[in-house]
């Protein structure tokens, strides 16, 4: 018996109504972490307006939370929903890499 289609289960752009729950792990107010926050907010406003939630987790305040998502480096964004969980490490300044990593765009040929 086949399963009915569910939002968030398909590939990129599977359902424009999908809600994206993102968790961004940072350590304080380092330049890389501040850039990651700004870059993620900008990308979400441009590509997910009204369909996203960002939770910023400062590991200096809550270091134990890193174990839940197996965070080894910061900044790291974790796409909690829709499934599957995806992780991207870095300051999130490479928009194309971030879009592919969050499965908002299919990978294409590399640009020269």
Q: Domain of 83: which CATH number? A: 3.40.30.10
pLDDT for 17 equals 61
Which DSSP string do the residues of the chain spell out, in sequence order? -PPPP-TTSSSTTS-TT--EEEEEEE-TT-HHHHHHHHHHHHHHHHHSTTSEEEEEEETTT-TTHHHHTT--SSSEEEEEESSSPEEEES----HHHHHHHTTSS---PPP-
Number of domains comprising the chain = 1
Tell me if 8 is assigned to some domain: no
Q: Which domain holds residue 76?
A: 20-101
For residue 18, the model assigns a pLDDT of 83
Residue 112 lies in a domain: no
Assess if residue 26 is contained within a domain. Answer: yes
3 in any annotated domain: no
Q: What pLDDT digit, counting tens, does each position of 38-95 carry?
A: 999 999 999 999 999 999 999 999 899 888 889 999 999 999 999 999 999 999 999 9
pLDDT confidence bin for 104, thresholds 50/70/90: confident
Q: Which residue has the higher pLDDT, 5 or 89?
A: 89
Is 107 part of any domain? Answer: no
Whether residue 57 lies inside any domain: the answer is yes
Q: What is the mean pLDDT of residues 14-29?
A: 84
């Amino acid at each position: 018996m086949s399963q009915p289609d569910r939002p968030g289960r398909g590939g990129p752009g599977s359902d424009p109504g999908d809600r994206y729950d993102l968790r961004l792990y940072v350590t304080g107010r380092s330049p890389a972490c501040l850039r990651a926050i700004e870059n993620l907010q900008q990308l979400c406003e441009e590509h997910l307006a009204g369909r996203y939630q960002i939770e910023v987790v400062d590991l200096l305040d809550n270091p134990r939370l890193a174990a839940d998502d197996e965070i080894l480096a910061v900044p790291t964004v974790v796409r909690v929903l829709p499934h599957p969980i995806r992780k991207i490490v870095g300051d999130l300044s490479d928009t194309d890499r971030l879009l592919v990593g969050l499965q908002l765009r299919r990978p294409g040929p590399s640009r020269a």
